[in-house]
Amino acid sequence: MRLKDKVAIVSGAGRGIGKGIALKLASEGADVAIADINLQNAEKTAEEVRAMGRKSFAGKVDVRSRSEVGSFVDSAVKSLGRLDIMVNVAGVLTVESVVNLSEEDWDYVMDINMKGTFLFSQAAGRQMIAQGRGGKIICISSNGGKSGFPFEAHYCASKHAVIGFVRSLALELAKHKINVNAICPGYIVTDMHKLEISSWAKLQGKTEEDVRREALATIPLGRFGTPEDVAKVVVFLASEDSDYMTGQAINITGGNEMH
């Protein structure tokens, strides 16, 4: 177990990639605090973590709220003893052309994807500095953080911002032996991926199967990814195996993105 007795917080861990990461961290020996806007989903993930023999703590958190994020971090540390690993997963996607994009949708996507990452990283960084034992902060960006996609300008902007934030934070926290890295998943089969496919189909007047086939054709390895694919790399970044890595943005795209 590469993370035996470590303590992690995973935001957006009620389902999808976040849940896959939380369970993978637990399988490697970590106790995991589960933050999600949906408390019922958070509790379900926490129950699965406990069923694996690890401790867990679950809470409802709006990642756009400094007070809710700070309170959750404090409660998680009180419950689990400390904080070694922070994984920022909470994210949203809406699909619309720029000329028709509402200000509300722009703010919604930017606030959750970027502001939420900032707030949790800030709170976790403060806790890790106070502990004086270093730590790992891992932020989920996207292949949309390196390339642009039609109808997703606001999403791509938010994910590009995550990478810039990670690079700057890595420089600031290096002296505290806190590593900060980003992961850039490509097409990962989740509810968000299904929403993306259906939305693209409607906007382009195509069938969902046509859009899915076109997307798959852009992946050299010939398949869509899974939350497990992402979780494996998170474990690497959370472990001592990555101690000499910081400020990086790692692609998990099946070759769809190589930059």
Q: Could you read off the pLDDT of 124-178 as tens digits, one per residue?
A: 999 999 999 999 999 999 999 999 999 999 999 999 999 999 999 999 999 999 9
Pick the catalytic residue: 108, 155, 187, 244?
155
Based on the residue annotation, tell me whether 155 is a catalytic residue of this protein: yes
Question: Above 90 in pLDDT, residue 37?
Answer: yes
Q: Please indicate, yes or no, if residue 257 is contained in any of the structural domains.
A: no
pLDDT value, residue 203: 86
Reported as a pLDDT band with limits 50, 70 and 90, residue 195 is confident
Answer yes or no: is 89 within a domain: yes
Q: How many domains does the chain have?
A: 1
194: in domain: no
Look at residue 200 and tell me whether its pLDDT is greater than 90. no
Per-residue pLDDT at 153: 98
| 1 in a structural domain | no
pTM of the model: 0.97
Summarised one tens digit per residue, pLDDT across range 81-110 is: 999 999 999 999 999 999 999 999 999 999
* Radius of gyration (C-alpha) of the chain in whole angstroms: 18
User: How many CA atoms, within 13 angstroms, populate the side-chain half-sphere of residue 247?
Assistant: 10
Domain containing residue 246: 7-188+226-252
Q: Domain of 58: which CATH number?
A: 3.40.50.720
Amino acid 220: pLDDT? 98
The verdict on residue 220 lying in a domain is no
Domain presence at residue 199: no
Residue type, 117: T
Q: Is residue 216, in this structure, part of any structural domain at all?
A: no
Instruction: Flag whether 77 is in a domain.
Output: yes
